[in-house]
Amino acid sequence: MSNYSNSTLLIIGHGSTTNEDSSEPTQLHADELRKRALFKEVRTAFWKEEPSMREVLYGITTPEVYIVPNFISEGYFTQKVIPRELELTGKITLRDTQRLYYCDPVGTHPSMTEVILKRAQETAPNVPLEKTTLFIVGHGTNLDANSAKAARDQVAHIKKMNLYGEVLSAYMEEPPLINDWWTMATQPHVMVVPFFISDGLHSYQDIPVLLGIEKETGPAASQSEVFRRNPYHLHGKTLYYTSSIGTEPMMVKVILDQVAAFNTY
């Protein structure tokens, strides 16, 4: 690990004005990194919550700032919104005596594979992997091809490991659609991992309804039992549903991996 004792780590999240669970993973990961004392400071900023991106840099005085987007994929927010709000000019921005290093979003790092496998194993520790279909579920949108790419990349990585009987990606808003999971899965056991940063509207409301394990949208994730009722028995299969991948404590390692990866450019 490089020496970051004279640097600030700035973790950027989306945040939400309606869902109190949205910013929690970013804040928890920042708290853990503060305890490790690898950086002089660890700060957070959000698009939809305070502290805002436009304000946060004014209070940072270290000569180096590593900016890590806590987002799953490259897209509108990481390519347009964050650079605009932080006034970044590229991967490295020089501002007076300060150097700002803009890292890739966490969801694009290869170590995300470890996080997915850990979360799946913890959710169903005794299920034979060779008889399990693993679904990595993304949002997907016809407006941005990158939205689905991160999930597809993880599927490709895990397939090469020959752990699961089947590894598939599925999406909420583009084919293949997750509501068709039972027609796609060929194995008797099914593991569904939402490839999202936080347990927001999609993971605790939309996807459970699309899977058929909930009949209607429910309460916030912090009040929901949907992640704790495993397994579900539908369409002749046994289904396990995990909380969003970004809530996994191991995400701290991915954040650090993205900082370290920047120094290899």
What SS3 state is found at 61?
Answer: coil
> What's the pLDDT at 198?
86
Signed CA dihedral, 60, 66, 70, 71: sign only: positive
Taking the C-alpha atoms of 173, 79, 10 and 27 in order, what is their torsion angle to the nearest 10 degrees? -10
Q: What is the mean pLDDT of residues 22-37?
A: 94
> What's the pLDDT at 101?
97
Q: 24-36 and 251-262 are packed helices; what angle lies between their axes, rounded to 10 degrees?
A: 70
Rounded to the nearest 5 percent, the helix, strand and coil shares of the chain are 40, 25, 40
Instruction: Tell me which DSSP letter residue 265 carries.
Output: -
Angstrom distance (rounded) from CA 124 to CA 12: 31
Angstrom distance (rounded) from CA 196 to CA 73: 10
> What's the pLDDT at 145?
67
Asked if the model's pLDDT at residue 100 lies above 90, the reply is: yes
> What's the pLDDT at 18?
66
> Greater confidence, 52 or 160?
160
| pLDDT band, very low/low/confident/very high, at 187 (cuts 50, 70, 90) | very high
Per-residue pLDDT tens for 209-245?
899 988 765 555 444 566 668 999 999 999 999 989 9
pTM of the model: 0.90
The neighbour count for residue 261, using CB atoms within 10 Å, is 15
Q: Could you give the domains of the chain?
A: 4-107+249-262 (3.40.50.1400), 110-247 (3.40.50.1400)
Query: Is residue 235 within 8 Å of residue 190, measured between CB atoms?
Result: no
Angstrom distance (rounded) from CA 67 to CA 100: 7
